[in-house]
Protein backbone atom coordinates (compact mmCIF):
# COMPACT_ATOMS: atom_id res chain seq x y z
CA UNK A 1 0.00 0.00 0.00
CA UNK A 2 1.34 3.44 -0.89
CA UNK A 3 1.99 5.94 1.81
CA UNK A 4 -0.97 8.26 2.39
CA UNK A 5 -3.58 5.89 0.98
CA UNK A 6 -6.06 3.74 2.81
CA UNK A 7 -7.19 0.29 1.83
CA UNK A 8 -10.84 -0.77 1.97
CA UNK A 9 -10.36 -2.51 5.33
CA UNK A 10 -8.84 0.60 6.94
CA UNK A 11 -11.58 2.82 5.51
CA UNK A 12 -14.24 0.43 6.85
CA UNK A 13 -12.61 0.55 10.30
CA UNK A 14 -12.71 4.36 10.25
CA UNK A 15 -16.36 4.39 9.19
CA UNK A 16 -17.27 2.01 12.02
CA UNK A 17 -15.34 4.17 14.48
CA UNK A 18 -17.16 7.31 13.32
CA UNK A 19 -20.57 5.60 13.59
CA UNK A 20 -19.71 4.31 17.07
CA UNK A 21 -18.58 7.82 18.02
CA UNK A 22 -21.98 9.21 16.98
CA UNK A 23 -23.84 6.66 19.09
CA UNK A 24 -21.83 7.25 22.25
CA UNK A 25 -22.00 10.23 24.56
CA UNK A 26 -18.59 11.35 23.28
CA UNK A 27 -17.88 15.07 23.06
CA UNK A 28 -17.40 15.08 19.26
CA UNK A 29 -20.11 16.70 17.16
CA UNK A 30 -20.58 17.04 13.41
CA UNK A 31 -20.73 20.12 11.23
CA UNK A 32 -24.50 20.64 11.51
CA UNK A 33 -24.51 20.53 15.31
CA UNK A 34 -21.39 22.73 15.53
CA UNK A 35 -23.13 25.29 13.30
CA UNK A 36 -26.15 25.21 15.63
CA UNK A 37 -23.94 25.77 18.70
CA UNK A 38 -22.27 28.73 16.97
CA UNK A 39 -25.53 30.09 15.58
CA UNK A 40 -24.10 30.10 12.06
CA UNK A 41 -25.25 28.46 8.82
CA UNK A 42 -23.75 25.09 7.92
CA UNK A 43 -22.08 26.61 4.85
CA UNK A 44 -20.09 29.00 7.09
CA UNK A 45 -18.53 26.03 8.87
CA UNK A 46 -16.58 25.08 5.74
CA UNK A 47 -14.95 28.45 5.00
CA UNK A 48 -15.70 31.06 7.63
CA UNK A 49 -14.93 28.76 10.54
CA UNK A 50 -11.44 28.07 9.19
CA UNK A 51 -10.77 31.79 8.80
CA UNK A 52 -12.13 32.51 12.28
CA UNK A 53 -9.96 29.82 13.85
CA UNK A 54 -12.66 27.41 14.99
CA UNK A 55 -10.84 24.20 16.05
CA UNK A 56 -11.70 21.28 13.74
CA UNK A 57 -10.56 17.67 13.35
CA UNK A 58 -10.69 15.90 10.01
CA UNK A 59 -11.25 12.16 9.79
CA UNK A 60 -11.02 11.32 6.12
CA UNK A 61 -13.39 13.78 4.46
CA UNK A 62 -15.48 14.28 7.59
CA UNK A 63 -15.07 17.31 9.86
CA UNK A 64 -15.57 16.77 13.56
CA UNK A 65 -15.59 19.25 16.40
CA UNK A 66 -15.15 18.90 20.15
CA UNK A 67 -18.19 20.45 21.81
CA UNK A 68 -16.10 21.85 24.68
CA UNK A 69 -13.68 23.50 22.23
CA UNK A 70 -16.56 25.10 20.33
CA UNK A 71 -17.95 26.52 23.57
CA UNK A 72 -14.46 27.72 24.60
CA UNK A 73 -14.10 29.37 21.18
CA UNK A 74 -17.37 31.25 21.66
CA UNK A 75 -16.28 32.40 25.11
CA UNK A 76 -12.93 33.58 23.73
CA UNK A 77 -14.80 35.87 21.33
CA UNK A 78 -16.47 37.83 24.14
CA UNK A 79 -15.80 41.55 24.21
CA UNK A 80 -13.74 42.75 27.16
CA UNK A 81 -16.05 43.83 29.96
CA UNK A 82 -19.10 42.27 28.30
CA UNK A 83 -19.04 39.17 30.46
Which tens digits make up the pLDDT trace of 43-69?
A: 999 888 889 999 999 989 999 999 999
What average pLDDT does this structure show over 29-44?
93
Topology at the third CATH level for domain 26-83: Arc Repressor Mutant, subunit A (1.10.10)
Per-domain residue ranges of the chain: 26-83
CA-to-CA separations, 13 to 1, 3, 23, 43, 56, in angstroms, rounded? 16, 18, 16, 28, 21
Quick one: pLDDT at residue 77?
85
Per-residue pLDDT, 1 = 45
Using N-to-C axis directions, what is the helix angle for 67-76 and 31-38, rounded to 10°?
Answer: 30
Q: Is the pLDDT of residue 14 over 90?
A: no
Amino acid sequence: MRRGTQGPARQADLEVAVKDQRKSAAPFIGTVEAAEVLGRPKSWMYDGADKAGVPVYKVGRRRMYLRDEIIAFVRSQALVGAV
